[in-house]
Amino acid sequence: MNFLENLIHGKIAIHQEIINKSIKEAIAENQYLQEIAFSITEGAINARIVIHAGEGQTICVTLALSLGNYEFNRSKRFVELFLRGPAVISSCGLSIKARLSVDMDPDPSKMAGAPEGLISVLQYLNVKEDVITIDFNKIPGFNQALQKKLGFLLKNLEITKMDLVEEMIIIHPAIKFF
């Protein structure tokens, strides 16, 4: 099915190539995030994140995720992804399997010297052991991009259902005018 057929059938299919291309463009100027790539299979999202950690040093984080809770309406726009196993963190030939948790220190003076590009990414991610929550309302430029593409519909767009199928995320949207 092409994009228009999906709209006619009441759903939107987003191919993993489009997601990866958008992410690549978004991180193009980030000197710390070298790569973020997703592959989508039936019921799962596999993520590979490569972070520049120093001169010639990279850290690769590999995650297997499944779709959890989500809400996308006028006020809340978030999705929770559940880890299907431990994260694999690889660097210098060493692979570590671990649970993840990211805690941001609210005191900006303690973040002096921290990679600004990495800190800005973590502002819209909430990572707590087995759950990664992405808050789309905190992503810089997200609302403007949707407004540009969807116009007035953005304020009334809701997602009623999401499915993961081979290489695609299927979104079942609804427009609510109340």
Question: 117 in helix, strand or coil?
Answer: helix
**Which tens digits make up the pLDDT trace of 106-125?**
555 454 454 555 555 566 77
Query: What end-to-end distance do the CA atoms of the chain give, in Å?
Result: 32
Q: pLDDT confidence of 155, banded at 50, 70, 90?
A: low
What value does the mean pLDDT of the chain take?
80
47: which strand partners? 38, 63
Domain edges within the chain: 3-173
Q: For residue 85, what is the DSSP state?
A: S
Give me the pLDDT at residue 82, please: 94
**pLDDT above 50 for 42:** yes
Largest separation between any pair of C-alpha atoms in the chain: 55
Question: 76 in helix, strand or coil?
Answer: coil
Among 10-14, 59-63, 73-77, 116-120, which stretch is predicted with the lowest mean pLDDT?
A: 116-120
**pLDDT above 80 for 89:** yes
Among 30-34, 124-128, 146-150, which stretch is predicted with the lowest mean pLDDT?
A: 146-150
Q: What is the dihedral of CA 44, 124, 102, 43, to 10 degrees?
A: -10
Question: Can you tell me the distance from the alpha carbon of 100 to that of 146, in angstroms, rounded to the nearest whole number?
Answer: 30
Give me the pLDDT at residue 109, please: 47
Structure tokens at 155: 């304020």
pTM: 0.76
Q: pLDDT confidence of 14, banded at 50, 70, 90?
A: confident
